[in-house]
């Protein structure tokens, strides 16, 4: 691998872009999207604004690239373990989600606001990540016959319930961060994990029956 005259490793254009995205995600953890500027990233990275424009084109494209990387990080960090029953895996995944939002609060909150504010690209990123998180509820190893049983049957009605539940979880987490009161982290996690099967229980039996299982 080639090196600069100062002994530092010379990065390829793709490696440099990845490095800048990682830096952008770290900065986004404590800043809103509006505060995440080309100038700030250039200063933190020790490079010129022109080079950043070369990699990302413009401020909006830079924001979108950083948000996509942050969403990928969220999905990766909240991946449930393979072992354990469905409730246990759900609790572990929810704990990782809660910790992620706490540690990246400003960036996560700005993404939620941007998605609700009409930015179609950011809304698409938000919806894609939400769909990925929700889809884990219906993973194959949580289906009938798998060790630990099944939490949620995969039907149109239960998919709708899971989507509503995930919106509730997001609101609970953001509200708890703003004003936790006397609610502990463990209590919050228990409420979020227990509420999903409880919500599904109120779904009529016929609507919980998977197509072709009758």
Q: What is the location of CATH 1.10.10 in the chain?
A: 11-67
Split at pLDDT 50, 70, 90, the class of 88 is: confident
**Range 30-56 average pLDDT:** 90
181 to each of 60, 70, 175, 185, 193, how far by Cα in Å?
Answer: 37, 29, 10, 11, 20
166 to each of 105, 157, 180, 213, how far by Cα in Å?
Answer: 17, 14, 19, 27
Q: What is the location of CATH 1.10.357 in the chain?
A: 78-208
92 to each of 86, 148, 165, how far by Cα in Å?
Answer: 10, 15, 17
CATH topology of domain 11-67: Arc Repressor Mutant, subunit A (1.10.10)
Q: What is the CATH number of domain 78-208?
A: 1.10.357
The SS3 assignment for 3 reads strand
The SS3 assignment for 9 reads strand
pLDDT for position 23: 93
- For residue 47, pLDDT over 50 is answered with yes
- For residue 114, pLDDT over 70 is answered with yes
Note the pTM of the prediction, 2 decimals: 0.83
Phi, psi of 182 (to 5 degrees): -100, 10
- For residue 104, pLDDT over 90 is answered with yes
| Interatomic CA distance for residues 133 and 163, integer angstroms | 10
Q: Which long-range contacts (CB under 8 A, 24 or more apart) does 24-27 make?
A: 24/62, 24/65, 24/66, 24/69, 25/66, 25/69, 25/70, 25/73, 25/107
Closest CA to 123 of 108, 109, 113, 133: 113
Question: Are the C-beta atoms of residues 63 and 37 closer than 8 Å to each other?
Answer: no
Phi, psi of 3 (to 5 degrees): -130, 155
Q: For tokens 């960036």, what's the residue?
A: 107
- For residue 9, pLDDT over 70 is answered with no
- For residue 214, pLDDT over 60 is answered with no
| Angle, helices 59-77/38-45, rounded to nearest 10 degrees | 70
Phi, psi of 57 (to 5 degrees): 90, -60
């Amino acid at each position: 691998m080639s090196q600069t005259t100062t002994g530092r490793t010379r990065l390829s254009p793709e490696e440099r872009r990845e490095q800048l995205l990682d830096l952008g995600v770290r900065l986004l953890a404590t800043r809103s999207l509006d505060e995440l500027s080309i100038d700030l990233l250039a200063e933190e990275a020790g490079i010129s604004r022109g080079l950043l424009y070369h990699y990302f084109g413009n401020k909006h494209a830079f924001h979108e690239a950083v948000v996509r990387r942050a969403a990928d990080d969220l999905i990766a960090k909240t991946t449930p373990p393979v072992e354990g029953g469905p409730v246990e895996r759900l609790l572990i995944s929810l704990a990782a989600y809660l910790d992620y939002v706490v540690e990246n609060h400003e960036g996560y909150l700005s993404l939620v606001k941007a998605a609700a504010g009409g930015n179609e690209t950011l809304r698409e990123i938000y919806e894609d990540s939400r769909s990925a998180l929700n889809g884990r509820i219906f993973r194959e190893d949580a289906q009938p016959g798998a060790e630990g049983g099944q939490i949620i049957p995969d039907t149109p009605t239960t998919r709708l319930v899971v989507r509503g539940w995930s919106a509730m979880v997001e609101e609970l987490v953001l509200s708890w961060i703003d004003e936790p009161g006397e609610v502990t982290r463990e209590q919050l996690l228990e409420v979020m994990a227990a509420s999903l099967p409880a919500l599904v229980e109120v779904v009529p039996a016929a609507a919980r029956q998977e197509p072709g299982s009758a």
